[in-house]
Amino acid sequence: MDRGKRKLDLLEGKIGKTFIFLALPILVAMFMQTLFNIVDTYFVSRLGTEAIAAMGLTFPIFMLSVSLGSGLSIGISSVVARSIGANDQEKTNNSAINGMFLALLLGLAFLVFGTLAIKPMLRFMGAEGEVHRLALNYIIIIVVAMPIKFLYFSIDGIFRGEGKTGLTMFILLGSTIMNIILDPLLIFGIGPFPKLGVTGAALATALSWTVGLAVAITFLLQKRSDIQLKFSDFKFKGKLVLEMLKVGLPSAVAQGTVAFTMIFVNKFAMDFSEAAVAAYALGFRIDSIAILPGVAFGSATIAMLGQNFGAKKYDRVKKIHRQSLTIVMATMGVIAVFTLAFPRVLLNIFLEGSVDDTSMVLKHGVEYLRIMACSYIFIGIGMVSNASFQAIGKGLPTFITTAIRLFILAIPLAYTLAYLLNLKTVGIWLGLAASNLFFGIFTKTWFNYYFHKKYVQHITSVE
């Protein structure tokens, strides 16, 4: 494989500069993805508190799909990156095409699962009346579009494993622009378009995903990727699929636990008020922006650290991990300070212009953001450290750390503080923040210990 064709030299280039240039397109792409979701929330929030609460109740099902698709993308990215580092073109090509095949299967499986699980999940979270109707109308369209979304996840993993993060950025830019255009047209019925409300937001999302996938496939067919895809020569490679699942499945399950945690958080919040559920929905959207550097730097870590691990450059692997942590801590620290200083400004982006009285939503939302912002740095540390494990082909630590964080800490702490100590919604937010603190410290310590013990004896080169 000709490494000279790649603009970024992940194996020989200066670590800090290369890492930042690798991560920046991912950060922009992630911002586009988050903007995609925020646009839905922004326009739907104009429909009132019931509409916001309905979207909030669909987050867990939506996040389950994202977690599975993201895990798939991580698995593909890790295998592609390591095979490129090992200069194995055949394995790289086979990994890409088998990853796309796996994505299609998983997308269809989630369509079936989602269709069966929607109503029981909404009932469990206490959805009733108009909130239940709106939530059901929204999520059924999202579930039907899942095979499209999963195929996109697989191509995204291919590009990231190659280090061609700019392609991902352009794909998400296109789909986000489409969503921004379609949302107001279909939600409010502007011009010849029907007024569909919350259902219109879901339909705009599904159509925009289709545009994103079309752009991604176009890039592949135009040979913007160095990977040579020949669908006529496709052969199922069980070993490669298992290797992807070994890394991606624990990550998917781990991220899926976030969705299940949201189910419990929504249930706890609903016990106090619909305003608390709406506040959590808006706060979670703002969180999703705040942690973007962690996601971007984590994805860059998988590509850069993975390729160097495949090339057996273990000293460089250590330096990449160290520098990525420094960068993510500094960036997340700045974002935390901003969120602590201006929570009302951030929330009012969504709440101004609402048809309902949103004073209680604002009160709960400010409390949520000020508490959660204190844990942003630790979320970033945990994300980069888990990505480092994934880059070297170890997916299980991601599941273990996330399971402890959410099931052993977040949910029990939130329940104890909210109900037993009578802190109500503040107790829920404190439980979530405390679990993030553990996540960062424990995951970083574990990776440093594991890598030093397993590979330190191989470190002989000095840059």
DSSP, residue by residue, 300-367: HHHHHHHHHHHTT-HHHHHHHHHHHHHHHHHHHHHHHHHHHH-HHHHHHHHHTT-SS--HHHHHHHHH
Distance CA(267)–CA(271), nearest Å, equals 6
**In the prediction, which pLDDT does 261 show?**
83
**In the prediction, which pLDDT does 426 show?**
94
- Residue 324 contacts by C-beta under 8 Å, 6 or more apart in sequence? 19, 297, 300, 301, 305, 384, 388
pLDDT tens per residue, range 390-404: 999 888 898 899 889
Q: Minimal CA–CA distance to 306: which of 7, 5, 76?
A: 76
Query: With contact defined as beta carbons under 8 Å apart, do 215 and 152 qualify?
Result: no
Distances (CA, A) of 41 to 36, 144, 202, 286, 454: 9, 20, 11, 11, 46
Residue 192 CB neighbours (<10 A)? 6
Looking at residue 196, the DSSP 8-state letter turns out to be: -
pLDDT tens per residue, range 360-389: 889 999 999 999 999 999 999 999 999 999
Residue at token pair 């088998």: 98
Distance CA(336)–CA(342), nearest Å, equals 10
Query: With contact defined as beta carbons under 8 Å apart, do 286 and 347 qualify?
Result: yes
Q: Where are the alpha helices (DSSP H) in 374-423?
A: 376-391, 396-403, 411-415
**In the prediction, which pLDDT does 463 show?**
40
Distances (CA, A) of 42 to 88, 142, 143, 277, 347: 46, 18, 21, 16, 10
**DSSP-derived secondary structure for 172-189:** HHHHHHHHHHHHHHHHHT
Residues of the chain with pLDDT under 50: 1-6, 460-463
Residue at token pair 């280039």: 13
Secondary element (H or E) of residue 297: helix 292-310
Within a 13 Å sphere around the CA of 226, how many CA atoms are in the beta-carbon half? 22
What is the number of residues in the chain? 463
Query: With contact defined as beta carbons under 8 Å apart, do 378 and 292 qualify?
Result: no
